[in-house]
Every structure is written in C-alpha cells, then in structure tokens.
Amino acid sequence: MRLLLLACLLFINNFFNTAMATEEPEFKLISEEGEFQIREYDPKIIAQVEVEGDFDEASSRGFKLLADYIFGNNLLDGGSKKISMTTPVEMSPMAENLLMTSSILDDQVNNKWLINFVMPQEFSLDTLPKPNNFQVNIIEVPKEKYAVIVFSGLVRESSYAEKAELLFNYLVENGLKQQGAIKIARYNPPWTLPFFRRNELMVRID
C-alpha cells in the first residue's frame, strides 16, 4: 500500500512538473561536488521588486507584484502582453553588511528583500513590455559566476541555517570569495510536496 501511494504521488508530481515546465536561465556548469555546484550564468534581464516583511510575507507580496506584471499589467505597442513564467523565483536580503551565516529569515535581522523573475530569453530590453507599476524594475544583469547548494523541502529557518553554513564552509575550503548577498532560489509551485521541491542557496563569487 505504501509503495502504491508513493507511486501515485510520484505520478502526480511528475505530471504537474511536466505540465508546468518553465524556462530556466542558462548557465555553464563549471564544477559539481555532491550538492554543490559552480555555475557561470549568461547575461539576462530580470524584473525586480523591493518589498518589506518577514520571509513569507515578502515572498507572497513580491510574487504577486511580479506576477501582475507578467500576466499583463504592462505596456507594449499601445497594448499589453502576457509574459511566460520562468523559474526560479529569487529572493535576496537588502540588509547591509549581512554575513552569509546570518539568520536572514529572522525579521529582527532582515525585513527588506529584493525579489525577481528572470525574463524569457526571447526578449531584449527593447522588446520587453514596460511595467505599468513603478514598483517593478527591469534590470539587465551581466554574466555572473555563482556557488550554489541544492536542497529539497521547505525553506525554513532550520533548513536555511544548515545549508548556509555548508555553503559558507564550501567557499572557505575552496578559497572562493563571496560577492554580494546570498540568494534563495525556489523552483516549484506552492502545491508541490516538500520532498519534491527544489531549492537553492546561491552566492556570487569572483
């Protein structure tokens, strides 16, 4: 019975993941060691908002603002245009001088966030619809290199702290220097079962 239930869950999850397949930003995989990766991302365009609140509040508010933009609250050639959803949804703290191992999910430490969607590759700055909402910023991002740790489950205080410490130790052991704030990247829709979820902590490096 347990095997049958697991098989059903796997089928449902795979069905939705296939049905909801979305574009991801392209990168070159430089190295991989267990759950750690070094990636070099191609230049890309992002839609970004600044929001305040604890992790869950900010995540929800930022997602709604960005979803509103890609679902048609924009301007292109006198009309509007829907933009395909991409993954992941990225969040990074705005707190200054925040250490990588700081408890950024604690709203006493950090309550200001940058949240962004990567725009589909079919668009350039000239062809991308302009946001009607002034809170949505369109930014061109150059080629970047990241150290990444991949994990499943829900992004909560305990899982974040554990993975952030592992990623920090990986940087130290490999002589890699952190550039900028840590990012939380989430790839799955909210109905995805926790053990099927794909999450990443990402740190830009030299």
Tell me, what's the pLDDT at 157? Answer: 78
Report whether 53 contacts 74 (CB < 8 A).
no
| Short-list 182, 27, 25, CA closest to 95 | 182
Residue 11 has pLDDT above 50, yes or no: no
Question: Environment class of residue 123 by beta-carbon count within 10 Å: exposed (0-12), middle (13-18) or buried (19+)?
Answer: middle
18-47 residue pLDDT tens: 334 579 999 999 999 999 999 999 999 999
Predicted confidence at residue 71, as pLDDT, reads 96
What structural domains does the chain harbor?
24-205 (3.20.80.10)
Section 149-155 average pLDDT: 92
Binning pLDDT at 50, 70 and 90, where does residue 79 land? very high
User: Which tokens in the block code for residue 126?
Assistant: 């000239």
Residue 153 has pLDDT above 50, yes or no: yes
Residue 71's nearest CA partner among 26, 136, 3 is 136
Mean pLDDT of 173-200: 91
pLDDT digits (tens, 9 = 90+) for 45-60: 999 999 998 888 999 9
Predicted pLDDT at 8: 38
The confidence score (pLDDT) of residue 6 equals 34
User: What would the pLDDT profile of 91-125 be if each residue is shown by its tens digit?
Assistant: 998 866 566 656 676 665 668 899 999 999 999 99
Q: How far apart are CA 124 and CA 120, in angstroms?
A: 9
Query: Among 18-27, 66-75, 170-179, where is mean pLDDT lowest?
Result: 18-27
